[in-house]
């Protein structure tokens, strides 16, 4: 017999068609869809309002390729890093980041990454494949359960800032957001979701055309092309001018503010001139700047700038009227911090 299909790849209409063909009542399709996306069922056995005969029919033709937790580590600051195992044996990492006023799930969109950013551990891995929408959704469901079990709190925010470049897995990322936010899914607010990109101009424009409601963050890290090319090869084909243009278009279409993420590396992008260039790039549309502490990785020799220089850098931008947040690293002691996610063989 041929391999069973993953039922989560089917639309509601396709599940209805299946029931029609098998002489079952089509309202059952809506029940199945609710079990999958609202109640996060991991097997047909859980679907208790379906008859045994109907569940056996589903089991004959379909499967649910549920993501599993293979391992978890808890950091000194209570950050939890999770190693997820996919149905085909591939693995990705996600992180639960608890802070005083929020519970954030940091999730992955690809197995590995193709962008080779020089400061990021994931960038030293090969990109093996995209995650499908259900695999992205499952990470949120499992991290949400961890938040309840470990800290008795609800998940409040989701960031697509784990492994991979979300905009190179565009359709699956948008479909996963739909399952997370729609009333037929988990019903979360799209304003609590941030998708972070290394900067692919044509896909940023597409986000604008598609009228997305979630937040967009650009991993900037240098605001002149020469420096950005050195650390982020994607910049050679997506220059700062092209990105600025695309972001203006995105804002014009969605009215969503953009966040710029900027790691301040010692003796590389931490001068007053660098801060001025960042201001010049940022001033064209309503935006905020997250200054991020660098988290060292063994493959690169970058260092975090010293606290005094970082303060001067942030103060310069604030005096220019930008909204600036200085983000402290979370989970660094278990390699769960920004830029540290990588599967170790």
**Residue numbers annotated as active site:** 93, 338
**279-305 CB burial, b ≥16 within 10 A, e <16:** bebbeeeebebbbbbbbbbeebebebb
Q: Which of 199, 221, 220, 203 is nearest to 212 (CA)?
A: 203
C-alpha to C-alpha distance for 318 and 78, rounded to whole angstroms: 31
Rg of the Cα atoms in the chain: 21
H/E segment holding residue 96: strand 91-98
Place of tokens 């995650």: 131
Structure tokens at 148: 């309840």
The DSSP bridge partners found for residue 263 are: 292
CB 130 within 8 A of CB 172: yes
Helix axes 12-21, 27-37, angle to 10 degrees: 140
Q: Which of 16, 48, 20, 21 is nearest to 33 (CA)?
A: 16
């Amino acid at each position: 017999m041929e391999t069973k299909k993953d039922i989560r790849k089917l639309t509601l209409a396709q599940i209805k068609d299946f029931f029609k063909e098998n002489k079952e009542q089509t309202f059952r399709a809506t029940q199945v869809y609710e079990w999958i996306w609202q109640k996060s069922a991991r097997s047909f056995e859980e679907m208790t309002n379906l008859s045994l005969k109907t569940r056996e029919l589903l089991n004959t033709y379909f499967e649910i390729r549920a993501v599993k937790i293979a391992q978890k580590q808890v950091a000194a600051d209570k950050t939890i890093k999770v190693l997820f195992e996919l149905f085909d044996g591939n693995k990705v990492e996600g992180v639960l980041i608890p802070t005083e006023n929020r519970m954030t799930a940091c999730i992955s969109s690809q197995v590995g990454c193709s962008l080779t950013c020089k400061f990021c551990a994931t960038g030293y891995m090969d990109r093996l494949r995209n995650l499908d929408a259900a695999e992205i959704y499952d990470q949120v469901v499992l991290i949400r359960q961890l938040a309840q079990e470990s800290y008795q709190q609800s998940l409040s925010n989701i960031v697509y800032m784990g492994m991979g470049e979300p905009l190179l897995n565009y359709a699956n990322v948008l479909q996963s957001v739909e399952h997370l936010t729609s009333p037929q899914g988990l019903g979360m607010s799209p304003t609590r979701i941030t998708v972070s990109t290394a900067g692919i101009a044509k896909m940023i424009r597409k986000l604008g055309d598609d009228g997305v409601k979630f937040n967009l963050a650009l991993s900037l890290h240098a605001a002149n092309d020469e420096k950005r090319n050195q650390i982020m090869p994607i910049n050679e084909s997506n220059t700062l001018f092209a990105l600025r243009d695309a972001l203006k278009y995105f804002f014009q279409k969605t009215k969503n503010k953009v966040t710029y993420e900027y790691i301040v590396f010692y003796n590389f992008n931490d001068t007053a001139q660098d801060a001025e260039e960042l201001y010049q790039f940022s001033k064209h549309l309503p935006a905020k700047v997250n200054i991020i502490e660098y988290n060292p990785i063994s493959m690169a020799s970058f260092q975090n700038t010293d606290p005094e220089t970082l303060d001067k850098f942030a103060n310069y931008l604030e005096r220019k009227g930008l909204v600036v947040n200085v983000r402290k690293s979370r989970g660094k002691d278990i390699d769960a911090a920004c830029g540290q996610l990588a599967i170790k063989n």
